[in-house]
Amino acid sequence: MYKEVIFLFNIGDRIVYPRQGVGVINLIEEKEFNGKLQKYYNIQILHNSLKLMLPASSAETCHLRHISDEKELDDMLYEINNYHCAPIEAPRTRAISKERLQNNTDKIKKGTLKNCAEVICELTEANKTHPLNTSEKELLNNTKKIIVDEISLVKHISVHEASDLLNNSLN
């Protein structure tokens, strides 16, 4: 017996899996795990060969979400274009970088489009005053990639055009 899960997603839904990327649910199937029957989403992450199986019961805690609609994306791009963060005046220390990395990682895990946009803006601004450490660079690049893939999918444009659109909003 398995715990009944209310399905938020269907086969063919285009989704964002925070920290993994934009993908499509290819299959919903039941599998036995630890003696219990569970339903799983089989997800194909776009633009690479990554395939994931996620228990449907974990979708909410993993912050799996449907891709945004065009209005949400346009609003996000507008917000990025008009984003102003407080000047970074504190001296750069390892503790400050570590705290900023943790805060931004927590935002990404929540998976909202708004949180992703904030991370991109904050790290882009921080990079203007001093070089980001390796972990922050990786977080910025991965977050940008997810947003670019989402823009590309929603607006039916190439990844290159989506990247240009995001970069133009950042400038």
pLDDT in tens, 56-65: 988 888 889 9
Residue 7 lies in a domain: no
| Count: domains in the chain | 2
Q: What is the CATH number of the domain that holds 60?
A: 2.40.10.170
65, 87, 102 - which closes a domain: 65
Statement: residue 85 has pLDDT above 80: no
- Residues 115 and 34 placed together within one structural domain of the fold: no
Segments forming the whole domain that contains residue 155: 68-170
pLDDT in tens, 111-165: 888 889 999 988 888 888 888 889 999 999 999 999 999 999 999 999 999 999 9
- Residues 137 and 99 placed together within one structural domain of the fold: yes
Q: What is the CATH number of the domain that holds 127?
A: 1.20.58.1290
Residue 9 lies in a domain: no
Segment 12-36 mean pLDDT = 90
Three-class DSSP labels, the chain = CCCCCCCCCCCCCEEEECCCEEEEEEEEEEEEECCEEEEEEEEEECCCCCEEEEEHHHCCCCCCEECCCHHHHHHHHHHHHCCCCCCCCCCCCHHHHHHHHHHHHHHHHHCCHHHHHHHHHHHHHHHHHCCCCHHHHHHHHHHHHHHHHHHHHHHCCCHHHHHHHHHHHHC
- Residues 129 and 86 placed together within one structural domain of the fold: yes
